[in-house]
Chain A
Amino acid sequence: MNYNWNWGIFFQPNPMGTGTYLDMLLSGLVLTLKTAALAWIIALITGSLVGVMRTLPSKGANWFGFAYVEFFRNMPLLVQLFLWFFVLPELLPKGAGTWLKQLPNAPFWTAAIGIGFFMSARVAVQLQAGIGSLPRGQKMAATALGLTTAQGYRYVLLPMAFRIILPPLTSEFLNTIKNTAVAITIGLLELTGQARSMQEFSFQVFEAFTAATILYLLVNAVVVTAMRFLERWVAIPGYITGK
């Protein structure tokens, strides 16, 4: 191996004039966190709605839920982001397309929303499985108590289903954070993008990606720990998810 290791590189000024190379990576990390947070909120809300739709008695709602999931689940995320960013504005009427292209921070919004929808299909499937795993008697008991369908979901089914699927949802949240790395293809300089920039500027490839790896691991360790606490906090003794 003929490689000139230089761990001091992080404290040297970066060529962009925005402080040191470490500052560059940290600004990428901030963007990664912002994108992941917004994407996760979108994924949870739309994913929950679609997941519920897939378990409703209504044929139409079932069909919509099915079509939604298949659309967002069957295309690689990279392709989806490319479609939203480069292709969609060309398909719209000229005025609307130009407006979309001129939006400030377009790469950020496209990435957050695109990743949000992609992940929402996965959340929907998880929630559907969670609801499906409850004994059929739960739904009947809710109806017998005089609860409407909406109330049955709100007070009986969803509180149980969400507790059951918390562990897989943790994985999905981690996936959301990792998937933000794909946003470099539409010009978002998140953590992976900044690591690549650092490698191009300084040719210190291994240092740049070691730092990015450690930052991703740290963030994900924080998320896992927080989710553990949440699981414990919402656990109900005597249920399958409680101790």
Chain B
Amino acid sequence: MAQELTGTLKNIKDTGAITLGFRDSSIPFSYLDDNQKPVGFAMDICYKIVDAVTKELKLDKLEVKLNPVTSATRIPLMANGTIDLECGSTTNNAERQKQVAFTNTHFLTASRYVFKKSSGLKSIDDLKGKTVVSTAGTTNIKQLTEANVAKGLGANIIPAKDHAEAFLMVETDRAVAFVMDDILLASLVAGSKSPGDYEISKDAFSKPEPYGIMLRKDDAAFKKVVDAATAALYTSGEAQKIYDKWFTQKIPPKGLNLNTPISAELKNEFAKPLDSPNPDDYK
């Protein structure tokens, strides 16, 4: 070690522990399985980062602490040092980069809508004058609001507290469609009472947006280690294996299969890892 350790790396070295923030129901990225243990695609990536940090700090053993976070608590817990990495499905965008940093993108998702097949919707234009739900505070509700104005849909947009509640609104016919990241819609449909009743639109409200694992801002040394670890993982064939494990095979607790093969954009990103918040950079 030529230089003094600073920031997160120093904390990890001093305490001999790293803390991962996990989500309880962001299937298949980060959620609790039947043993109440956090598992998922983002968790697997985080454990790889932990290995790299252990190696970097030349430690024999690094204790991994797990701390549950919600969309509301992830920022304060990151700011006050409770968690070192947030392993979930947090969208990396320019606005949020003012507060936190993101490592290389681990998923790309576009904003689409889920609807009941019986309602016979075909395109975004079919939402004219209908009641549409989305989750408050998401980029999705923003895109929906913009499309509503731009296309003159005159749709009645209701905000929901969280994804589960928004999906319930479609399930109980309070809304005809729920606009959200397509992968989250896929997992909601797969986990619903009758998955066959629902369909996800071909039409998208946005270009694919990046999800990233979140870390503290202005901690260049730690970010360098984390970026190197994710880049090494994505460019090796191993990322594809981990991807398939969570997106094309049965996953706990109920043996659901999301049947979502890797997209061309994400394949490209894995070949050339990027941490950019700009959707245009992912072709």
A-side interface residues toward B, CB under 8 Å? 1-4, 6, 15-17, 86, 89-90, 98, 101-102, 104, 106-107, 184-185, 187, 189, 193, 196-206
Contact = CB atoms under 8 A, between A and B. Distances in A.
Nearest to B100: A203
Contact of B137 (A4, A6, A197): A197
B137 A198 contact: yes
A197 B136 contact: yes
A199 to B, nearest CB: 7
A4 B72 CA distance: 17
A106 B174 contact: yes
Contacts of A107: 158
B138 interface: yes
A32 to B, nearest CB: 15
B142 A187 contact: no
A contact face: mostly helix, strand, loop, or mixed: helix
B223 interface: no
B145 A17 contact: yes
B172 A187 contact: no
A205 B81 CA distance: 15
Contacts of A4: 98-99, 217
Contacts of B145: 16-17
B75 interface: yes
B203 interface: no
Contacts of A204: 99
B133 interface: yes
A20 to B, nearest CB: 14
For the complex of A and B, list the 3 residue pairs with the smallest distance between their C-beta atoms, beginning with the closest: A200-B137, A203-B99, A3-B79
A101 B133 CA distance: 13
A199 B158 CA distance: 18
B96 interface: yes
6 contacts: A4-B98, A187-B158, A187-B160, A187-B161, A200-B136, A202-B95
Contacts of B80: 1-3
Nearest to B8: A2
A185 B99 contact: no
A83 to B, nearest CB: 13
Contact of A187 (B137, B146, B165): B165
Interface of B: 71-72, 75-76, 78-81, 95-96, 98-100, 131, 133, 136-139, 141-142, 145-146, 149, 156, 158-161, 165, 168-169, 172-174, 216-219
Contacts of B139: 15
Contact of B159 (A15, A17, A193): A193
Nearest to B96: A203
B174 A203 contact: no
A187 B159 CA distance: 5
A16 B142 contact: yes
Contacts of A17: 145-146, 149
A196 B71 CA distance: 9
Given A17-B149, A200-B138, A90 B156 contact: no
A189 B161 CA distance: 9
Nearest to A4: B99
B72 A196 contact: yes
A185 B165 contact: yes
Contact of B75 (A6, A101, A199): A199
B269 to A, nearest CB: 23
Contacts of A200: 71, 136-138
Contact of A184 (B81, B161, B169): B161
B27 to A, nearest CB: 20
B216 to A, nearest CB: 5
A203 B98 contact: yes
